[in-house]
Amino acid sequence: MKKIQGSFYNKSIISVDQFELSDIELVFKTAAAYKKGIETGTVYRDLEGKLLTALFYEPSSRTFGSHIAAMQRLGGKIIPIQGVTFSSVVKGETLEDTIRVFASYSDAIALRHPEEGASRRAAEISSVPIINAGDGVGEHPTQALLDLFTIRERLGRMDNLTIAMVGDLKYGRTVHSLSKVLSLFKNITIYFVCPDSSPMPKDIVKIIADRGVKTEQTSSIQDVISQIDVLYMTRVQKERMDEKLYESIKDLYILDGAMANRMKKDSIIMHPLPRIHEITKDVDDNPRAAYFTDQIRNGMFVRMALLKLILAPN
Ligand code: NCD
């Protein structure tokens, strides 16, 4: 896995482990410029003539839609493939063969796949960059960048943060990537609020603790709610566990309006979406809620930045 080291050009994005601070700064500078431009009516042509395949083997609306929106906002085009059950995969085609085909049509492939490590496998044989749009219980690096961009925008900093990640932390890939990316910053505390049956994987806890992040596992949101700057809620990943485990944890962590109001005034509530019932609707209008507003829209700007940096030589 190639480190980015200042140049995204022609590189795959597989894991947040590829980023250094300066890489993140470059993406955010580019994303912020696009955000300003789009909001003042600029029409971009930076990726005119470029073609992205969005190859999605798992359901998605936001990640799929925002890659398409980002590409089109830059004047590029897209081959949208969603619900791969309708394609040759049902005939038995391997991931590798499918990647070879779409690599020969397009300039990059955004890949979502149910198996951890699928993007890495794809990148090993692909002649064009692969963007990991979620690989099973593995990682979701572009989501981590848009989450971090939102934190920076809303709180004005990426150092000195206390964050609670809540829910099914074992199977949720967004929190895996976000924890690791946060470990690049100073004075970070992460509370993992989860059931013992679905904890943050030990290898990730070790990596980030070695980098100086203070971590603590707790089973109650109430214990930490008034101390945190960011509350990152997640969905229980029903499709990745058996029915029994799902039933036992699905109602454990539900944020409602009264709890949200116990948070610090300048704190924020995030969620990668889709939200099932872990945040009640009365939280949506709380000024701390960032999930339907900033987080979604920032996804498009951050993906515009990544696509531009990967596909355009400078
Ligand atoms: C997340 C994912 O697919 O990992 N969704 C997303 O990309 N915004 C979270 C989830 O499905 O729970």
Specify the ligand 1 atom closest to the Cα of 235.
Answer: 12
Specify the ligand 1 atom closest to the Cα of 299.
Answer: 8
Residue with CA closest to ligand 1 atom 7: 63
Mutate which of 68, 112, 135, 143 to test ligand 1's pocket (most atoms within 8 Å of Cβ)?
A: 143
Mutate which of 140, 175, 198, 233 to test ligand 1's pocket (most atoms within 8 Å of Cβ)?
A: 140
Helix (H, G, I), strand (E, B) or coil at 34: helix
Cα separation, 199 vs 136, whole angstroms: 16
Specify the ligand 1 atom closest to the Cα of 58.
Answer: 3
Specify the ligand 1 atom closest to the Cα of 133.
Answer: 7
User: What order of strands is seen across the sheet that includes strand 77-82?
Assistant: 77-82, 51-56, 108-113, 130-135
Q: Which of 30, 53, 63, 234 is catalytic?
A: 63
73 is catalytic: no
CA angle 6, 134, 272 (to 5 degrees): 95
CA angle 184, 188, 192 (to 5 degrees): 110
Instruction: Report residue 254 as tokens.
Output: 């539900």
Q: What are phi and psi of 17, to 5 degrees?
A: -60, -15
Q: Which of 140, 154, 180, 275 is catalytic?
A: 140
Cα separation, 109 vs 204, whole angstroms: 27
Total Cβ atoms within 10 A of residue 103: 19
112 is catalytic: yes
Residue with CA closest to ligand 1 atom 8: 272
Based on its alpha-carbon atoms, the radius of gyration of the chain, rounded to whole angstroms, reads 19
Residues with CB under 6 A from ligand 1: 62-63, 134, 140, 143, 173-174, 235, 272-273
pLDDT tens per residue across all 314 residues of the chain: 889 999 999 999 999 999 999 999 999 999 999 999 999 999 999 999 999 999 999 888 899 999 999 999 999 999 999 977 655 666 778 899 999 999 999 999 999 999 999 999 999 999 999 999 999 999 999 999 999 999 999 999 999 999 999 999 999 999 999 999 999 999 999 999 999 999 999 999 999 999 999 999 999 999 999 999 999 999 999 999 999 999 999 999 999 999 999 999 999 999 999 999 999 999 999 999 999 999 999 999 999 999 999 999 97
Q: Which of 276, 290, 297, 170 is nearest to 230 (CA)?
A: 290
Alpha carbon of 25 to ligand 1 centroid (Å):
24
Instruction: Report residue 288 as tokens.
Output: 């701390």
Residue with CA closest to ligand 1 atom 6: 272
63 is catalytic: yes
Cα separation, 58 vs 112, whole angstroms: 6
Q: Which of 35, 50, 67, 112 is catalytic?
A: 112
CA angle 149, 191, 162 (to 5 degrees): 50
